[in-house]
Structure 1
Amino acid sequence: MLKKLLPFTLFSLALPAQADTLLGLYVGAQGWRADSQGGFASNADVTDFNFSDETVSSFHIALEHPIPLIPNIRIARQSLDTDGSTTLASSFQFGGQNFSAGTQVMSGLDMDSTDYTFYYEVFDNDLVSLDLGLTGRDVDGRLTASSTGLNAAQSFSGIVPLLYGKVEIGMPLTGFGFQAQGNFLAIDDSKVYDYQAALTYSLLDNLAIDLTLQLGYRAFMLELDDMDDVYTDLDFKGPFAGVELHF
C-alpha cells in the first residue's frame, strides 16, 4: 500500500557529478493539454468516467553544483483538475454512497503534487547529458461523485517514491536538441509513470543566461491501490509547450 511507504532515502550511488563549474540555477514552466481517461472507486472495482480535456500548468526549479557525491536538487509543482458526466453501466460504490446502474454521475478530480528530486549528472557535455536519481512525489488530491440526491467525496495524500531519469542530446551549431525525462514506480498493485519527450531550441545562449524553448508530448499514469481507501486507474496524455531559463 502506497500510504504505508516511508519517506524514501537519498540516492547515494557514488557517481561522478559533472555539474556546473559554479552554481547553476534552472527555472522553467510548461503548459500541457491533457486528454484525461480512466476512473476511480473506494475498492478495486474501478469505474471509468468520461473526463473533459484540460490545459494544466507545471513549474520547476533546479539547483546544480560542483560538489562530488552530494546530489543536485530539483523541485517541481503541478496541478491536475478535470471533471465530467457519465451514465453508469453498472453500480458504483464511492465515499460511502452506492450509485445505481443507469444513474448519471458527475465526477471530478482535483490533485496537486510537488516533486522533490535528488539526482546526479552521470554525463554532462554539449552532445549528451544524463541525469539519474530519486523523486519523492508529495500527492494531495480529492475525488468527487454526485448525482440527484447523492454526493460523495474522498481525499487522498501521501509521498510516492519514484525513479528519475533525464537525457538531453544536442545538435551542434543548430540550436536544436532533444530532451526526454521521466519518473517511474511499480510496487504491489500500484503503478505510476510520468514521462515526456520534447524537441528543444536554444533561443539565448550566453554567459549570463540561457533560454530554451520546448515542444513535446507528455504522458502520466496514476494507478493507486488503496491510498487512503482510494483506488484509481487514471491516464493523462497530450502535447505541451515549455520554457526554461538557466542562470
Structure 2
Amino acid sequence: MYEERASRVPGAVVWWSVSPGSATAARRVLPDGCMDVIWADGALLVAGPDTAAHVVADRPGARYVGLRFGPGTGPAVLGVPAHELRDRRVPLAELWPGAEARRLAERAGEAAELGRSVGAVLEEAAGLRPGAAPGPVDAVVVTAVVNGVRAGLPVARIAADAGVGERRLHRRCLDVFGYGPRTLGRILRMNRAVDLARGGAPFATVAAVAGYADQAHLSREVRSLTGVTLGTLVR
C-alpha cells in the first residue's frame, strides 16, 4: 500500500507505505530527481537523488513514512549539497546535529505509537530548518532548470533563462539536484513516460508524447535508468 499527500513544506509531499505479503519482497524505487527524509520503523534516514533504480528488500509489514522534496528543494533543508548524497542512503544524524536527529526520531516514534501522523512530525521539523524557504536566486535557477529540461530545451537556453553561464549552471545543478541538467532531464522524461504507460498509453504514443526519438530510444532509456523494461514496470 502506498499513499501520499501535498505537504505544508513548499515543494514537498508526505508519503506513507506498508509492505504487504508474507515474505520479503524486492521493491524498485525509480530515480526521480527528489530527496527524501524517511522514517523506517523507528530509524530516520535520508535518500539522496538517484541516477538509477534503487532496489529495496522489504520485509512483510514494514512501515515507511517519508517527506519527499521535489527536484532542487531538498538540499537547503537538509543542509548538504545534493551531489554529496547522490545514490546514497545515510542516517539523518550524519547531516543534522545528533541531538536534533534523536529528538525527531523520538517524536516520530511516539506519534506512530499513538496513531498520530508521523508525516506531520517530519513536516514540522523540516519547516523549522533555516533553508525551508528557498532564497530567490536558488528558486529562479531551480524553476528555470526544471521547466527547461521538461521542455527539452538546450542547456545554453536554460542557462540564459536562469541568468547564469553554462559552467555555473552545471555547478549549481550539482548542488541542488545532485547531477547536471542533462541527467536531470533524462530522469524527469523517463518518469513522465512511465506515468503515461501506466495510464494505458501505447508505448509508441508514450515515446512521441514524452519526447523520445522513437520507441526504441524510449526502451533503451528506460532500461538504462531502471534496469528493467517499460513493460515490466507497467506490470
User: Which TM class, normalised by the smaller chain length?
Assistant: under 0.3
Q: Whose helix proportion is higher, 1 or 2?
A: 2
Higher Rg of the two aligned structures: 1
Q: Whose strand proportion is higher, 1 or 2?
A: 1
Q: TM-score, normalised by structure 1?
A: 0.22
Q: TM-score, normalised by structure 2?
A: 0.23
